[in-house]
């Protein structure tokens, strides 16, 4: 609870921005869906067969899992706001269409007959009689669609459209329940508030609803158009994966570029999505640069390099070559720190047995009770490979959820765990990382990834971004992650502090 | 003048109307009467082209109905539905003026017209004009249903069993009302009913229908005195039989006041026993399944008077 309050205080502005994005995304989608579904239902109200076909189609669309739908849309329309809106519209069309259609077709046939017999024009019959009578049904359809949209819009964060989903994903990714709760509770509150607003709309007369909807369309459309017009021409867009570390890095890139080249504008997109989204975004030109790990490049982005070297320099060289020849991407020099698997013990434990390297563990292997994340326990690159490489056999090794590991070692339930080298918990729980002296763990070094085209157009970027090459030690990164994740400082501030203290900014 | 010439209507092999010939004089109160399935409602709905004849032609003022512009035709014909069908989303005055709105009358003129009509059927405009239909009783709603059909002064008013869902008292009041309106207004009324009693009470001319055929057309006197066939005669005998009234009939017609005093007469007793009892006292208490009811001499006289007027 205290943590939630702290986050709300320190990141209030960002959260309000995310709420704004969420509302914008939801409202635009809802309006587009209504503008499609309601006229469609009106056109089809007297064509039962066509309407049934349409109902089938919309129901089928409804059954596509949202993640799959986003996946289908990315190759077609790229990432960001547009595919999110398309996906949300596709979901919202069905409840609105279905309710409008049944609202219009279940009107008392006597009223229909009366309207016909009175010689009312088609238009007057529709606007004076049919739509007002169907209005309660239409409103309830819009309400259903709206709740669905606000819920599903949290997934938009996956593909870089922002919104409250950012906090949910970030919370899951960084095992931060406070963030998760903030994202989830705020979306629930949004759904409630909008539900109440729609109920209120439903009690107004048909004419007033029309006026309010038209005003909303004009306002949102005008706002979007205005933003489009006044948005500064950004030359470079830098995005990062979920979490504090990429956010710190992209802020460093931004500061360096803007410092060296005042004529260049940089926009950052933090917590933009997972690896494949960012990679596709880079390939499609939606973003220009993002930091990627050497190990990840070999593992998932290029082909034929599965048996990676455990030497960081070799790994980088192989990754760079493969990216250049296979994907026409430029991969600048990596920073010093490695964000890979590690083994950590408490300070007291390390002191007691004089542990510095993984090799030191051999002497005390019968005293080690390890807690491993299930992946690490099974993967070739994890415990099985490690025990072979170092000829290690611990007294016991349990698998546990990643989130529980650090607590388990802090509580003394286990005395050794696996982790990521830059996890802020290492600092938080006063742990010591043992040096991988046989270089068993595959190297994961971060470096800027961009298209060759961008580098050809702006060769000066290479010099600027390579200023970070070999900089930022693992401890530096741990400390910075700690400040952002645990202390809730702004990533931009933390990044600038580092650059200034290392004399990288003029 | 409306003329049906050799009009037939078939529904997938089912003959609803068979070679119908009929003339409805301008300004008439014309009643189509018959049991269900006789084709009376189909005949009515062919007049405003809600139903199209399969064969034959209908002439309205010597011009074929199908040669009229559909909207223009319907705007010349008021329509009263059996289940009233007031638009629940519109106020009473908007309901009344819906056809006027369609014709593009100004709002001021529409409200004026609605208020005049409300006054004409004894509904206080100040009280009723801006209410919603659900706030009115069934009888009040059908009054509005009737004046809605009159709003733009149509030449013809079509009424499809408008009173069948009403209680006997409201029905009688509304029958009086349409008779009065017909008398006051220069319009042709075409009225459909399955109730011979209602037909005899209202119609200047009556067409008795059965299974898509006209059995007899004539004034009420002609039909009563010279029924054309056994069917028409049978229809009447039922009507006469229904007049073998018991005390219950009066209660059903809405007479009587609930009282708590002990009853002296059974509801199943013939009316003449009530009359005999009323010779010695001014009110007789009748036992009914739902409690005692008091019937007075004026009740009996009032009842007999309306019966005799038929």
Q: Are residues A454 and A421 in the same domain?
A: no
Q: Are residues A241 and A222 in the same domain?
A: no
- Closest-CA distance, B240 to chain A, in angstroms, reads 34
Closest residue to B75, CB basis, from A110, A115, A119: A119
Angle, helix A131-152 to helix A12-44, in steps of 10 degrees: 140
pLDDT band at A251 (very low <50, low <70, confident <90, very high): very high
For the cut 90, the answer to whether the pLDDT of residue B158 exceeds it is yes
Q: Are residues A401 and A463 in the same domain?
A: no
Distance CA B170, CA B177 (A): 10
Q: Are residues A73 and A174 in the same domain?
A: yes
Closest residue to B81, CB basis, from A110, A119, A133: A110
Which residue of A lies nearest to B88 if distances are taken between CA atoms? A133
DSSP A28-88: HHHHHHHHHHHHHHHHHTT-HHHHHHHHHHHHHHHHS-HHHHHHHHHHHH-SSHHHHHHHH
User: Domain locations in chain B?
Assistant: 2-241, 247-309
Q: Are residues A386 and A365 in the same domain?
A: yes
- Quote the pLDDT of residue B310: 46
Q: Are residues A140 and A218 in the same domain?
A: yes
Which residue of B lies nearest to A206 if distances are taken between CA atoms? B89
Is residue A439 assigned to a domain?
Answer: no
Closest residue to B50, CB basis, from A108, A117, A133: A117
Which CATH number is A270's domain given? 3.40.190.10
Is residue A506 assigned to a domain?
Answer: no
Q: How many domains does chain A have?
A: 3
Tokens of A294: 């050497």
Q: Of B176, B297, B298, B304, which Cα lies nearest the Cα of B249? A: B304
Query: Is the reported ipTM for this assembly greater than 0.90?
Result: no
| Of A353 and B262, the one with more pLDDT | A353
- Quote the pLDDT of residue B309: 47
Q: Mean pLDDT of all residues in chain B?
A: 86
pLDDT digits (tens, 9 = 90+) for A205-217: 777 878 887 888 7
pLDDT digits (tens, 9 = 90+) for B136-153: 988 899 889 999 999 988
With a CB cutoff of 8 Å and minimum separation 6, the contacts of A193 are none
Closest residue to A129, CB basis, from B50, B74, B87: B87
Is residue B23 exposed (0-12), middle (13-18) or buried (19+ Cβ within 10 Å)?
A: middle
Is residue A440 assigned to a domain?
Answer: no
pLDDT band at A271 (very low <50, low <70, confident <90, very high): confident
Q: Which domain does A74 fall in, by range?
A: 2-230
Q: Are residues A68 and A161 in the same domain?
A: yes
The pTM (predicted TM-score) of the whole model is 0.66
Most confident of A207-216, B9-18, B54-63: B54-63
Upper half-sphere CA count for residue A494 (Cβ side, 13 Å):
24
Q: Are A3 and A174 in contact (CB under 8 A)?
A: no
Which CATH number is A348's domain given? 3.40.190.120
| Of B237 and B98, the one with more pLDDT | B98
Q: Are residues A411 and A472 in the same domain?
A: no
Mean pLDDT of B222-240: 79
Cβ-based contacts of B77 with chain A (< 8 Å): 117
- Quote the pLDDT of residue B189: 94
Share of chain A above pLDDT 90, in %: 22
Which chain B residues touch A if contact means CB-CB below 8 Å? 48, 50, 70-75, 77, 79, 81, 83, 85, 87-90, 98-99, 101-102, 158
Q: Are residues A311 and A371 in the same domain?
A: no
Q: Are A59 and A244 in contact (CB under 8 A)?
A: no
| Of A376 and A371, the one with more pLDDT | A371
- Quote the pLDDT of residue B241: 52
With a CB cutoff of 8 Å and minimum separation 6, the contacts of A42 are A100, A104, A126, A131
Q: Are residues A216 and A261 in the same domain?
A: no
Most confident of A146-150, A267-271, A295-299, A423-427: A146-150
Cβ-based contacts of B81 with chain A (< 8 Å): 110, 113-114, 117
- Quote the pLDDT of residue A308: 57
- Bridge partners (DSSP) of residue A416 are A370
Cβ-based contacts of A117 with chain B (< 8 Å): 48, 50, 74, 77, 79, 81, 158
Interface contact B74-A119, CB threshold 8 A:
yes
- Closest-CA distance, B24 to chain A, in angstroms, reads 20
Q: Mean pLDDT of all residues in chain A?
A: 85
Mean pLDDT of A172-198: 85
- Quote the pLDDT of residue A266: 87
- Quote the pLDDT of residue A307: 53
pLDDT digits (tens, 9 = 90+) for B101-135: 988 899 999 999 999 999 988 899 999 999 999 99
- Of A204, A230, A256, the last residue of a domain is A230
**Radius of gyration (Cα) for chain B, nearest Å?**
22
CATH architecture of B2-241: 3-Layer(aba) Sandwich (3.40)
**In this structure, which long-range contacts are made by residues B296-305, counting pairs with CB atoms below 8 Å and at least 24 apart in sequence?**
B299/B250, B299/B255, B299/B256, B300/B250, B300/B271, B300/B274, B300/B275, B302/B255, B303/B250, B303/B253, B303/B255
Share of chain B above pLDDT 90, in %: 38
């Amino acid at each position: 609870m205290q943590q939630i309050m702290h986050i709300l205080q320190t990141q209030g502005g960002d959260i309000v921005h995310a709420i704004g994005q969420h509302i914008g995304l939801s409202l635009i989608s809802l309006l587009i869906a209504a503008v499609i579904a309601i006229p469609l239902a009106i056109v089809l109200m007297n064509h039962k067969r066509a309407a049934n076909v349409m109902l089938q189609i919309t129901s089928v669309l409804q059954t596509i899992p949202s993640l799959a739908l986003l996946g289908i849309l990315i190759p077609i329309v790229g990432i960001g706001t547009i595919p999110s809106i398309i996906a949300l519209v596709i979901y919202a069309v069905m409840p609105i269409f279905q309710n409008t259609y049944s609202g219009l077709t279940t009107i008392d046939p006597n009223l229909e007959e009366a309207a016909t017999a009175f010689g009312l024009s088609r238009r007057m019959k529709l606007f004076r009689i049919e739509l007002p009578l169907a209005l309660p049904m239409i409103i309830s359809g819009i309400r259903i669609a709206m709740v669905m949209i606000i819920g599903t819009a949290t997934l938009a964060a996956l593909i870089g459209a922002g919104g409250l989903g950012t906090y949910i994903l970030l919370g899951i990714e960084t095992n931060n329940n406070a963030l998760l709760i903030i994202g989830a509770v705020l979306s629930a509150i949004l759904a409630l508030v909008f539900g109440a607003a729609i109920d209120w709309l439903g009690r107004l007369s048909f004419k007033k609803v029309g006026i309010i909807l038209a005003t909303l369309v004009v306002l949102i459309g005008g706002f979007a158009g205005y933003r489009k017009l006044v948005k500064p021409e950004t030359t470079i867009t830098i995005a990062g994966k979920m979490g504090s570390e990429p956010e710190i890095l992209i802020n460093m890139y931004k500061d360096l570029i803007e410092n060296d080249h005042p004529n260049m504008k940089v926009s950052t997109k933090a917590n933009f999505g997972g690896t494949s989204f960012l990679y596709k975004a880079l390939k499609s030109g939606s973003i220009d640069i993002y930091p990627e790990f050497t190990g990840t490049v070999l593992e998932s982005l290029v082909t034929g390099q599965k048996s990676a070297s455990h030497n960081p320099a070799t790994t980088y060289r192989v990754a760079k070559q493969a990216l250049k020849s296979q994907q026409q991407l430029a991969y600048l020099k990596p920073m010093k720190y490695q964000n890979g698997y590690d083994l950590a013990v408490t300070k007291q434990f390390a002191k007691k047995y004089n542990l510095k390297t993984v090799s030191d563990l051999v002497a005390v292997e019968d005293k080690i009770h390890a807690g491993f994340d299930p992946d690490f326990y099974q993967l070739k690159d994890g415990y099985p490979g490690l025990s072979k490489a170092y000829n290690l056999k611990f007294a016991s090794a349990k698998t546990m959820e990643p989130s529980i590991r650090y607590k388990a070692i802090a509580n003394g339930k286990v005395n050794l765990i696996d982790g990521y080298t830059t996890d802020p918990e290492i600092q938080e729980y006063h742990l010591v990382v043992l040096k991988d002296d046989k270089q068993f763990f595959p190297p994961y070094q971060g470096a800027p990834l961009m298209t060759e085209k961008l580098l050809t157009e702006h060769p000066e970027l290479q010099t600027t971004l390579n200023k970070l090459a070999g900089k930022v030690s693992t401890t530096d990164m741990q400390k910075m992650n700690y400040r952002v994740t645990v202390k809730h400082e702004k990533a931009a501030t933390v990044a600038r502090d580092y650059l200034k203290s290392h004399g990288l900014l003029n | 003048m409306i003329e049906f010439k050799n009009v037939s209507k078939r529904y997938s092999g089912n003959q609803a109307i068979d070679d119908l010939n009929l003339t409805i004089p301008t300004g008439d109160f014309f009643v189509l009467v018959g049991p269900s399935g006789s084709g009376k409602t189909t005949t009515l709905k062919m007049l405003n082209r809600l139903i199209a004849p399969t064969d034959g032609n209908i002439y309205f003022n010597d011009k074929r109905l199908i040669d009229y512009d559909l909207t223009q035709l319907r705007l010349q014909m008021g329509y009263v539905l059996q289940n009233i069908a007031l638009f629940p989303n519109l106020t009473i005055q908007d309901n009344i003026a819906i056809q006027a709105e369609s014709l593009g009358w100004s709002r001021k003129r529409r409200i004026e017209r609605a208020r005049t009509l409300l006054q004409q059927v004894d509904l206080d405009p100040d009280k009723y004009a801006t209410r919603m239909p659900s706030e009115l009783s069934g009888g009040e709603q059908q009054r509005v249903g009737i004046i809605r059909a009159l709003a733009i002064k149509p030449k013809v008013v079509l009424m499809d069993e408008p009173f069948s869902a009403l209680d006997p008292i409201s029905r009688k009041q509304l029958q009086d009302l349409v008779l009065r309106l017909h008398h006051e207004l220069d319009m042709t009324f075409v009225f459909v009913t399955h109730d011979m009693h209602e037909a005899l009470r209202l119609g200047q001319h009556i067409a008795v229908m059965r299974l898509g055929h006209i059995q007899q057309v004539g004034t009420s006197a002609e039909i009563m005195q010279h029924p054309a066939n056994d069917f028409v005669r049978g229809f009447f005998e039922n009507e006469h039989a229904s007049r073998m009234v018991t005390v219950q009939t009066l209660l059903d017609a809405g007479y009587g006041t609930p009282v708590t005093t002990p009853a002296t007469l059974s509801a199943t007793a013939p009316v003449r026993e009530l009359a005999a009892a009323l010779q010695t006292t001014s009110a007789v208490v009748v036992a009914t399944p739902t409690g005692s009811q008091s019937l007075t001499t004026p009740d009996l006289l009032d009842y007999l008077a309306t019966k005799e007027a038929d």
